[in-house]
Amino acid sequence: MVRNDDFFLRKWVGYYGKELGKENLYIFFDGKDQPVPLWCEGTHAELCDKIPGQVVEAEKGRLKFLSSKAAELLKSYDLVIGTDADEFLIADPALGLGLREYLDKAKIGTSLSGLGIDVGQDTKTEGAIDDSRPFLSQRRAGLVGTRYTKPSVVARPVVWGSGFHRIKGHNFHIGKGLFLFHFGYFDLKRIEDRFRDKDRQAAGWGKHLAKRARTINIVTRKRALDWNRWTAFGRIVQTIVRPPYAWNKPAMFNLRIVVKIPERFSSIV
């Protein structure tokens, strides 16, 4: 579900359309006051009544809506993937499998998660993003983050918590070699522009957007570590450790591990 976010949605449609077929993409526009872009042709795009409320209330309504839509789709599909427009579920190219092939081979009970990689910007060496080029050809590091290890893939009707961060009443399983790349806070200029957006300010997003600049600060400040070693470490820790307030979310002792994204990912998104 999106609202006025052509920048990421165009990339989202391009990636998932290539991996899964545009005819299998379902896009819900939050508010009938926005046009459906021409490049969404071939997808199932639907203008919906805007979900009311400030950030927390609206987010709960959004995920309730999307959980019900996923349940409907599971009558026709074996699996449903739920993501935000700035999230890309990617099978490691080293496996030699695209996303469709990876999921076809995976054993999924209730859900499957990719290990969360919150892509950042090293402001010392990386400039503003050029959306005509692949994102990962311009960004070389990311934070191994519990926040984006989400149960994105579901095999049965569930109720997602806000932001797809958990499934109510169910545990999660992190797929080996599967990653969820989050790009929402990978460009300082975009964060500043979104912070000034009156529509988002009115909905109470200002503090949320400003806080997300922390990813850029961490990636700029810390040295990027080996991908294979530290993503394996992150997967093990997040599988074992849980926060005391939510047993069905991953935790990682508040470690801030920045990893260098391998060249093999550079042309995917």
Where in the chain are the domains? 78-265
pTM greater than the 0.85 cutoff: yes
Residue 176: count of CB within 10 angstroms of its CB: 12
On whether the CB atoms of residues 20 and 2 are closer than 8 A, the answer is no
Q: At 229, which helix (H) or strand (E)?
A: helix 227-240
pLDDT number for residue 190: 87
Report how far apart, in Å, the C-alpha atoms of 189 and of each of 106, 130, 131, 193 are. 38, 11, 13, 6
On whether the CB atoms of residues 121 and 188 are closer than 8 A, the answer is yes
Nearest to 151, CA basis, from 121, 114, 184, 113: 113
pLDDT number for residue 66: 96
Residues in the chain, pLDDT under 50: none
pLDDT number for residue 172: 95
Q: Rounded to the nearest 5 degrees, what angle is found at the Cα of 148, between the Cα atoms of 147 and 152?
A: 125
Q: How far apart are CA 269 and CA 264, in angstroms?
A: 11
